[in-house]
């Protein structure tokens, strides 16, 4: 009898990217898995519903990938109060904004994870959120009669995350803790794709099971420096200069923005090509310690 | 009266004085004045304060200089934290938030301290100005013991009779029971501070009321720059100036990069 082998969950960049399709609801963690985000832009995915905040959300909008955003915060940073492409697209009505806030978002994600149609939440009572987002229903708590908001389950097709390490079976170990939404996104999503700095042996996972932060990532992709220009805890700090370049280009819109997206997202045909473009000196200068 | 500090420094010192030892002080992103204020209070009189910045909970009273982040997100903040709420649920212990103090900004503020981070315009689908969004402010302001509205400008565009959209409820439609009527357990906004003045809320109506004018600011200017009638007391004090010691600690141990100068 041939011995059966446990299935590995390791995928190449292209294999992982091929799991993403037009029209999906894609949740993006923190730090953003930028290698996968760039692959989405390179492939020209369309009509996505994106759960994200930050400049990667802005890049996806600028690249025309987004139809709808589940949004609690789209600040720009670098002297810009609102992410530029998000702001333009929202003001023009080019994207639909599913307005929420952190407590409402996590309630919706937890409802999905727990298989519930909704969870109640108090934050947002008395605000305009239920008016501008009709999916949020004002409800009367059947036990004490309090006014609460019923937050419908938010079910991403895919959670896209970045972490420090994983083994080939999808046991993920973060360094310095996962980004604030990551575990919610992973629990709520149909499938999770986690890009990591390093693949570690299964023995290393079993040596310290409490360190495992995500137990069953469906797909693991090895992407060293994969969060660049964001940080990856324990590995490198944020490349603020490049993020600032993006913000300036996004403010200008037009040719400047197209140039940025072409240069950094579309022209490098793989993560390796992107890292060559950035250059080893610049990457090494971001060493965290 | 000559002011030997910037308005931002004046506000940071004012807010710091209002914070008490033992409190949990949570500051969100892009609020340099509160960020400086909580650090200053921590060093000056708050050995048991806990500073919470984007999920990282720290007590750094023993340090000569309070660490990063300097007014922006830097993941190295976790190095100084004793725990990191993001490991679990940021909103796990909402029931205990009466001990917590919070700070918010806004793109519109109404006479009852309701604020707006969503956008400006009549039609949500075609906003004239799309704001950044509410972050976690609706949940935080619902529950925290008290919070402060901290603004970088004071104009009629900011202080409006009615917010186009409300992202945080201050005193709702007004009245001392405004929040209990809505079932909001937190204590609501205490002060609204701007580059011109400090405002509080009247006890009965919970309407914005002038509390003090910053040195050199005229009442007429405040009234002209506020897009609704402000309650004005008979005697208007001048905003308390920073003590020399506070200013020194602020400049040498908190804001040594001079972001507030």
Residue B4 three-state SS: coil
Closest CA to A71 of A181, A161, A157: A181
Query: What is the rounded average pLDDT of the residues A36-62?
Result: 97
Cα separation, A163 vs A29, whole angstroms: 10
- B172–A126: do the CB atoms touch at under 8 Å? yes
Does residue B79 surpass a pLDDT of 80? no
Does residue B106 surpass a pLDDT of 80? yes
Secondary structure of A142-194 in the HEC alphabet? CCCCCEEEEEECCCCCEEEEEEEEECCCCCEECCCCCCCCHHHHHHHCCEEEE
Q: Does A147 touch chain B (CB under 8 A)?
A: yes
- Decide if A288 contacts A233 (C-beta within 8 A): yes
Q: Is the peptide bond before A135 cis (omega within 30 degrees of 0)?
A: no
Cα separation, B41 vs B38, whole angstroms: 5
> Which of B68, B133, B173 to mutate: most A Cβ within 10 Å?
B133
Q: Does B206 touch chain A (CB under 8 A)?
A: no
- B118–A86: do the CB atoms touch at under 8 Å? no
CA distance B31 to chain A (A): 11
Does residue B193 surpass a pLDDT of 80? yes
Rounded to two decimals, the pTM is 0.95
The confidence score (pLDDT) of residue B72 equals 56
Beta bridge partners of A150: A120, A137
Cα separation, A33 vs A35, whole angstroms: 6
Residue of A nearest to B171 (CA): A126
* Helix (H) / strand (E) containing A206: helix A202-206
Tell me the average pLDDT of chain B: 92
At B50-61, the pLDDT tens digits run: 998 877 888 989
Tell me the average pLDDT of chain A: 96
* Buried-exposed string B72-81: b where 16+ CB fall within 10 A, e elsewhere: ebbbbbbebb
Residue A93 three-state SS: coil
Q: Does A75 touch chain B (CB under 8 A)?
A: yes
Band (pLDDT 50/70/90 cuts) for residue B189 is: very high
The confidence score (pLDDT) of residue A93 equals 97
ipTM for the complex? 0.94
Q: Which residues contact A204 (CB under 8 A, 6 or more apart)?
A: A165, A167
Closest CA to B193 of B137, B242, B146, B151: B151
| Dihedral (CA of A118, A124, A128, A129) sign | negative
Query: What is the rounded average pLDDT of the residues B33-39?
Result: 94
Residue of B nearest to A97 (CA): B125
Residue A77 three-state SS: strand
Angle at A261 between CA A257 and CA A263, to 5 degrees: 115
- Decide if B188 contacts B146 (C-beta within 8 A): yes
The confidence score (pLDDT) of residue B228 equals 98
54-83 in chain B: CB under 8 A from chain A: 54-55, 72-76, 78
- A124–B133: do the CB atoms touch at under 8 Å? no
Beta bridge partners of A221: A11, A195
Does residue B68 surpass a pLDDT of 60? no
Q: Among A175-184, A212-221, A271-280, name the one with the lowest average pLDDT.
A: A175-184
Cα separation, A86 vs A95, whole angstroms: 8
**Cross-chain CB nearest to B138 (options A76, A123, A179):** A123
Closest CA to A99 of B141, B89, B114, B125: B125
- Decide if A199 contacts A169 (C-beta within 8 A): no
Task: Tell me the count of A-B CB pairs closer than 8 A.
Answer: 148
Q: Is the peptide bond before A31 cis (omega within 30 degrees of 0)?
A: yes
At A55-109, the pLDDT tens digits run: 999 999 999 999 999 989 999 888 899 999 999 999 999 999 999 999 999 999 9
Cα separation, A121 vs A107, whole angstroms: 7
Q: What is the rounded end-to-end Cα distance, in angstroms, of chain B? A: 19
């Amino acid at each position: 009898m041939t011995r059966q082998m446990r299935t590995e969950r390791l995928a190449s960049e292209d294999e992982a990217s091929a799991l993403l399709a037009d029209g999906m609801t894609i949740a993006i963690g923190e730090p953003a898995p930028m290698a996968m985000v760039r692959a989405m832009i390179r492939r020209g995915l369309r009509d996505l519903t994106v759960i994200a905040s930050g400049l990667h959300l802005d890049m996806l909008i600028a690249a025309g990938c987004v139809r709808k955003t589940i949004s609690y915060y789209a600040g720009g940073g670098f002297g810009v109060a609102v992410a530029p492409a998000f702001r333009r697209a929202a003001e023009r009505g080019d994207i639909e904004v599913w307005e929420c806030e952190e407590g409402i978002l996590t309630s919706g994600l937890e409802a999905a994870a727990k298989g519930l149609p909704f969870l109640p939440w108090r934050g947002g009572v008395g605000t305009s959120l239920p008016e501008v987002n009709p999916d949020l229903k004002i409800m009367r708590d059947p036990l004490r009669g309090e006014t609460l908001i019923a937050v419908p389950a938010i079910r991403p097709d895919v959670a896209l995350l970045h972490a420090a390490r994983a083994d080939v079976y999808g046991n993920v170990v973060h360094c310095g803790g996962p980004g604030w939404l990551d575990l919610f996104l992973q629990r709520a999503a149909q499938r999770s794709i986690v890009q990591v700095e390093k693949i570690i042996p299964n023995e290393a996972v079993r040596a310290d099971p409490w360190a495992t932060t995500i137990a069953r990532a469906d797909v693991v992709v090895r992407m060293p420096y994969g969060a660049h220009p964001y940080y990856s805890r324990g590995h490198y700090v944020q490349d603020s200069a490049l993020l600032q370049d993006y913000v300036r280009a996004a403010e200008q819109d037009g040719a400047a923005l197209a140039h940025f997206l072409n240069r950094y997202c579309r022209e490098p045909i793989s993560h390796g090509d992107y890292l060559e473009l950035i250059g080893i000196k610049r990457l090494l200068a971001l060493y965290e310690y | 009266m000559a002011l030997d500090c910037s308005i931002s420094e004046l506000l940071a010192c004012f807010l710091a004085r209002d914070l008490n030892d033992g409190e949990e002080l949570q500051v969100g992103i892009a609020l340099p004045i509160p960020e400086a204020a909580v650090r200053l209070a921590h060093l000056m009189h708050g050995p048991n304060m806990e500073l919470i910045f984007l999920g990282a909970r720290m007590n750094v009273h023993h340090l000569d200089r309070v660490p990063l982040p300097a007014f922006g997100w830097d993941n190295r903040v976790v190095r100084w934290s004793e725990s990191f709420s993001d490991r679990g649920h940021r909103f796990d212990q909402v029931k205990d938030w009466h001990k917590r103090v919070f700070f918010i900004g806004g793109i519109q503020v109404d006479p009852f301290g309701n604020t707006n981070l969503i956008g400006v315009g009549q039609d949500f689908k075609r906003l004239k100005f799309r704001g950044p969004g509410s972050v976690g402010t609706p949940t935080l302001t619902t529950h925290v013991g008290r919070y402060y509205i901290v603004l970088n400008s004071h104009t009629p565009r900011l202080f409006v009779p009615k917010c186009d959209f409300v992202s945080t409820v201050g005193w709702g439609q007004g009245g001392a029971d405004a929040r209990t009527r809505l079932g909001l357990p937190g204590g609501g906004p205490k002060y609204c501070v701007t580059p011109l003045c400090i405002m509080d809320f009247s006890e009965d109506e919970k309407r914005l009321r002038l509390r003090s004018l910053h040195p050199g600011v005229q009442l007429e200017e405040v009234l002209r720059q506020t897009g609704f009638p402000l309650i004005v007391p008979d005697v208007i004090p001048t905003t308390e100036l920073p003590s020399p010691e506070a200013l020194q600690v602020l400049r040498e141990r908190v804001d040594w990069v001079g972001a507030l100068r």
